[in-house]
Structure 1
Amino acid sequence: MEGNLTKGPILKTLTKLAIPIMASSFLGTLYNITDMAWIGLLGAKAVAGVGVGGMFTWLSQGLVSLARMGGQVQVAQHIGRREQEEAHGYAQAAVQMSALLGILFAAVVLILLKPLIGFFKLEDAEALAAAFSYTKIACGLIMFSFLSLTLTGLYTAQGDSKTPFAANLVGLAVNMILDPVLILGPGPFPRLGVTGAAIATVTAQFIVMSILVMRIFVTKKENVLKGIQLFEKIPPKYVRGICKIGIPTALQGMAYCMISMVLTRMVSGFGAEAIATQRVGGQIESVSWNTADGFGAALNAFIGQNYGAGKMDRVKKGYRASLITVGVWGLFITLLFVCFPEQISGVFFHEPTAIATAVGYMIIIGYSEAFMSVELMTVGALSGLGKTHLCSVISITLTSARIPLAILLSGTALGLLGIWWALTATSVVKGIVFVMAFYWITARMRNSK
């Protein structure tokens, strides 16, 4: 097996696994930031259109987490119990379910494209056209992303985070080359604008998926992904096992996105520049949440294997080390956002009014970065224990509070800033509640022995 996470120094073992995952997550951030930087040259209206289209790719990530999280946790726990045949069965089922979900999501979005885009009530024709162009391509070929994410989770469950990192590094290089060529059309190349950005992103996702698949066949090491058959019937017990873990996570991710869609519709009342700010601000913010999510993925595999092996002391020590590491990173991002908002915003916006709107977002949202980072890391930890239902309840309940809070605050003199404060306030509360939940769960497990 690629990596046994139940032995060895805890911090060293966790860090060795986490660094490539965090680097892969950072590469994912660079994907998005690269797109936004080039699209920003087309103007705030193009950014707003891509922002709306990006909502649906975000929604898809919630759906694919059913197969990814369910498969990753089950595989990690069965590896910890040294049940390799069961681990292989769950890995195959996760890949098959991921492919099926990707096809279904693409079909639904393409069939319902007009009413889905219409929900956001974009008034500007240029922004509306950009939303249609980007969504058709990015969501129509979403299966490449689905399979990449699920395979990444399954590699991680085995303690191999280097392969996904290498695949994502190649994908980023391709994306960075294609973006300016396809978006701006220098020399003999056609200027495709937003359509070019979507093509560049999908091409990079296809390459990442291809590398992860090829690695299965060329590696000589034991791998639960070896011998996977896409068209075999999935045994019901594997479907049930994956759904038991994955459905709460999927509901949590999709509910989070749907709540953000409602907030985006509220933001649209303040103009295209406000939507563009929310979109770009979210991509900039992903520097912290992608990194924390990556560390959470490493912690998920670490806790899954150790929980499966009955080593709760390693579980708790691993969480404490992660809490400190991710908390410090979040504080660093807070300082960056609060102290240098003009410089960061100026990279993506070129109109003075758009920059001013973005600065307000960066400062307010910056105060919540440490809490949000801790929240995402703890979700990974609790999911490794199989407590995805609890994560779902906490996240959906507190994230839903953003809507009435945003309505209340935006109706005051704060206006648009009130929506940003609603995001920050709920993130702070969620970070605190999730940490308390982890210690409560582990204390109950210890007392029940």
Structure 2
Amino acid sequence: MALPITLSMLVQTLYLMVDLYFVSALGSTALAGVNAASNLMLLVVALSQMLSVGAVALIARAVGARDQPQANLIFNQSALIALLLTLLTLASGYWVAEHYMASLAADAASQAQGLVYLHWYLPGLALMFISTAMGAALRATGIVKPTMVVQMLTVLVNIILTPVMTAGWLTGHPMGVKGAALSSSLAVLSGVLMLGWYFLRLEHTVKLDKAMLKPHWASWRRLLAIGMPSGCEFLVMFTSTALVYWLIKDFGAQAQAAYGVGSRLMQLFFMPAMAVSFALPAIVGQNLGAGLGDRVRKALQSTLLIEGVLMLVAMLLCRWHPDLLARHFTEDPAVLAFAVQFLSILSMVFVASGITFTCSSFFQGMGNTLPALASSLLRLLVFAGGALLLAARPGFSLDHLWYWSIATVAMQAVLSLALAYRQLRRQWPAAAPATA
């Protein structure tokens, strides 16, 4: 399951990478504005994660128990919620966009560029809820290849449209950051249409049913009870990232641009490990539904081992000539220096992040996402408190912030691992060997 998920996640990251490559040619001001605007994507991911995690856990459990009607009901309710969230995102996004950019941008020019990008990228962000609902249903049933194929096609659409719209290839009419945002929105729309066609024509385990597209409040409560804590984890990530943008804006647009470049490169290195952890909830959920506790335990242990190896390799690759990685996206000496410092230091957090990914996915599959949320909230509180104290001290520099981030992520990893094994001990004190 992890291999096609890796490709799917790589495709998602390429959306931003392609935009970043062409926007970087517009200068550090445009780059800083787009990076600050792109952080709003984490807020959308928080809401979509709330939906996705609940759907995967409940559909996988129903599939494991061979309860097809229940799986179908949960899918249709998640599709209904996705449609409502799409409309809500469009309505609220345009309302708060200006205030959001004003609070994070380093200067007026970055704010203006970020606002243009955000206005044209919001439709694509809103449509992500619909694709998330369909992708979650497929992942819960163990089917990941259709989503991978669709996302590969959408990134091809994005790769074709971005240079045409952003840089004016073929047309001679460059649109700048507006073109980068619009090309991504059109690519997301194409993916939604392709996944919709797949569900209408080829999917049989779960399918859209008009009779089930009315609010079923008991299902909503179950979905939100599982998904909301996990969604709040991403809300914590959004808050943490926004705090960093706010703390470093006094260092100028170059520092914000470098932070955005470094963060995107780290996402790229995280992809294989995150894909392995994203496969875990469906495996845990199905074996939980079948009552096979020993398989749940082995799935957690195997995933932790794979994650550790992948993240160690990623750390070594990232620390090996980080300047060569960052140079693909900027030639500005100041931006490059900030980005190299960021990658050199923050890559040391990779293994701890892998443990956190795994434990969070384990709790999703178990249908108990509160422990993962608790560890994320604790990390945010400790990080925010320490970061604000560091920023208030004379001689504050960015490396102080990056080392403090490493310490707090390590703390979160240890706590998450302890909570995961506590859950296993409480649910299966002595798990019986799995049967065929």
| TM-score greater than 0.5 by the shorter chain | yes
How far the C-alpha of 1:227 sits from its partner, in A, is 3.0
Residue identity opposite 2:128 in structure 1 = S
Does the C-alpha gap of structure 1 residues 412 and 439 become closer, same or farther in structure 2, counting only changes over 3 Å?
A: farther
Q: What secondary structure, in the 3-state scheme, does the structure 2 residue paired with 1:430 have? A: helix
Tell me which residue corresponds to 2:244. 263
Unpaired stretches in structure 2, ≥5 consecutive residues = 432-436
Q: What secondary structure, in the 3-state scheme, does the structure 1 residue paired with 2:325 have? A: helix
Structure 2 residue aligned with 1:424, among 399, 406, 430?
406
Alignment of 1:194 onto 2:177: yes
CA distance in 2, matches of 1:152, 1:230: 21
Tell me which residue corresponds to 1:135. 118
CA distance in 1, matches of 2:208, 2:256: 46
Tell me which residue corresponds to 1:74. 58
Superposed CA deviations along residues 210-238 of structure 1, whole A, max 9, x for unmatched, are 1111111221x6321x1333993121111
Tell me which residue corresponds to 1:442. 424
Alignment of 1:110 onto 2:91: no
Tell me which residue corresponds to 2:253. 272
Task: After superposing the two structures, state which structure 1 stretch, 28-37 or 348-357, moved more.
Answer: 28-37
Q: What secondary structure, in the 3-state scheme, does the structure 2 residue paired with 1:247 have? A: helix
Q: What secondary structure, in the 3-state scheme, does the structure 1 residue paired with 2:246 have? A: helix
Task: After superposing the two structures, state which structure 1 stretch, 185-194 or 302-311, moved more.
Answer: 185-194
Residue identity opposite 2:239 in structure 1 = M
Tell me which residue corresponds to 2:137. 154
Superposed CA deviations along residues 132-164 of structure 1, whole A, max 9, x for unmatched, are 111112124422211112211111001001011
Task: After superposing the two structures, state which structure 1 stretch, 181-190 or 366-375, moved more.
Answer: 181-190
Residue identity opposite 1:391 in structure 2 = A
Contact kept, 8 Å, 2:363 with 2:372, in 1: the verdict is: yes
Map residues 277-296 of structure 1 onto 2, 5 A cutoff: 277-296=258-277
Does the C-alpha gap of structure 1 residues 249 and 447 become closer, same or farther in structure 2, counting only changes over 3 Å?
A: same
Tell me which residue corresponds to 2:191. 208
CA distance in 2, matches of 1:117, 1:146: 23
Tell me which residue corresponds to 2:14. 30
Alignment of 1:53 onto 2:34: no
CA distance in 1, matches of 2:215, 2:172: 46
Residue identity opposite 1:21 in structure 2 = I
CA distance in 2, matches of 1:151, 1:422: 38
Q: What secondary structure, in the 3-state scheme, does the structure 1 residue paired with 2:48 have? A: helix
CA distance in 1, matches of 2:239, 2:212: 32
Map residues 4-403 of structure 1 onto 2, 5 A cutoff: 17-125=1-109, 127-219=110-202, 222-224=204-206, 226-229=207-210, 232-403=213-384
Q: What secondary structure, in the 3-state scheme, does the structure 2 residue paired with 1:223 have? A: coil
Contact kept, 8 Å, 2:164 with 2:171, in 1: the verdict is: no
Contact kept, 8 Å, 1:167 with 1:212, in 2: the verdict is: yes
Q: What secondary structure, in the 3-state scheme, does the structure 1 residue paired with 2:278 have? A: helix
Contact kept, 8 Å, 1:292 with 1:326, in 2: the verdict is: yes
CA distance in 1, matches of 2:266, 2:71: 35
CA distance in 1, matches of 2:400, 2:123: 35
Contact kept, 8 Å, 2:68 with 2:205, in 1: the verdict is: no
Contact kept, 8 Å, 1:40 with 1:349, in 2: the verdict is: yes
Report the aligned-residue RMSD. Answer: 1.7
Contact kept, 8 Å, 2:106 with 2:250, in 1: the verdict is: no
Q: What secondary structure, in the 3-state scheme, does the structure 1 residue paired with 2:25 have? A: helix
CA distance in 2, matches of 1:89, 1:249: 21
Does the C-alpha gap of structure 1 residues 390 and 326 become closer, same or farther in structure 2, counting only changes over 3 Å?
A: same
CA distance in 2, matches of 1:69, 1:161: 15
Superposed CA deviations along residues 116-137 of structure 1, whole A, max 9, x for unmatched, are 2111153242x12211111112
TM-score, reference length from structure 2: 0.95
CA distance in 1, matches of 2:274, 2:77: 24
Superposed CA deviations along residues 57-98 of structure 1, whole A, max 9, x for unmatched, are 221110121211111111111111111111110011111101
Superposed CA deviations along residues 317-357 of structure 1, whole A, max 9, x for unmatched, are 11111111111111111111212111111111111111111
How far the C-alpha of 1:413 sits from its partner, in A, is 3.8
CA distance in 2, matches of 1:47, 1:72: 36
Residue identity opposite 1:285 in structure 2 = M
Does the C-alpha gap of structure 1 residues 328 and 338 become closer, same or farther in structure 2, counting only changes over 3 Å?
A: same
Q: What secondary structure, in the 3-state scheme, does the structure 1 residue paired with 2:261 have? A: helix
Tell me which residue corresponds to 1:7. none
Does the C-alpha gap of structure 1 residues 215 and 140 become closer, same or farther in structure 2, counting only changes over 3 Å?
A: closer
How far the C-alpha of 1:281 sits from its partner, in A, is 1.0
Contact kept, 8 Å, 2:73 with 2:212, in 1: the verdict is: no
Contact kept, 8 Å, 2:46 with 2:235, in 1: the verdict is: yes
How far the C-alpha of 1:108 sits from its partner, in A, is 0.9
How far the C-alpha of 1:414 sits from its partner, in A, is 5.2
How far the C-alpha of 1:400 sits from its partner, in A, is 2.6
Residue identity opposite 2:268 in structure 1 = V
Contact kept, 8 Å, 1:92 with 1:230, in 2: the verdict is: no
Tell me which residue corresponds to 2:434. none
Unpaired stretches in structure 1, ≥5 consecutive residues = 1-16
Residue identity opposite 1:229 in structure 2 = K
How far the C-alpha of 1:291 sits from its partner, in A, is 3.1
Contact kept, 8 Å, 2:158 with 2:184, in 1: the verdict is: yes
How far the C-alpha of 1:395 sits from its partner, in A, is 0.9
Residue identity opposite 1:171 in structure 2 = T
CA distance in 1, matches of 2:168, 2:210: 41
